[in-house]
Chain A
């Protein structure tokens, strides 16, 4: 089946620094990638949708200058949390959908635990 990887799986950074999270589709070309944020005991909240080669579409309330998304190739999307603050600590999950993939063909990465100290 389709595999999506995320790197790193866990990261700790200091307040004010930036951290980049990578999301890769390993065995398919992902024309669309999604970034979610999950708080403890909460649901997944969609942050943004990115299509390869174009700017990401951010959900209401998500600061695009703080959460920079780059979908430069059909197998890689990155999320950069800029000037991180402790309230940015969360579990970030990406998912990917292939060209022509149905709504059910959205595959999730294992997530990245970000802790900002």
Chain B
């Protein structure tokens, strides 16, 4: 199919690690992204990974990419209540017009329990 798939909900306790998973479809995607959306707000780019990388770490965030399985994950270490938001996985695809455009998953709502 053409969808970017994510589980819709994740609940974790404050201080634990959160792992949000995503499967994408286009093996030619050059970049894969994680965005954060807080209630009533736009999207904030959290991190991205180039398709020739397996892992990228940025402070509390770790992105793992399995190209063979087209699987992307985002791990948030020491999850805080401020991390409660919706997290979108996205892949960049080349459109028919030749430009790159983002295709988003439905988002995973992360709830952090104090």
Query: Which A positions have Cβ atoms within 8 angstroms of B?
Result: 4, 6, 32, 34, 41-44, 46, 49, 57, 93, 95, 102-104, 106-111, 113
Contact = CB atoms under 8 A, between A and B. Distances in A.
A61 B92 CA distance: 21
A99 to B, nearest CB: 13
Contacts of B102: 34, 44, 46, 103, 106
B107 A110 contact: no
A9 to B, nearest CB: 9
A104 B49 CA distance: 9
B114 interface: no
B31 A111 contact: no
A6 B41 CA distance: 11
A107 B33 CA distance: 12
Given A57-B97, A103-B100, 6 more contacts: A34-B101, A44-B88, A49-B95, A102-B31, A103-B30, A111-B40
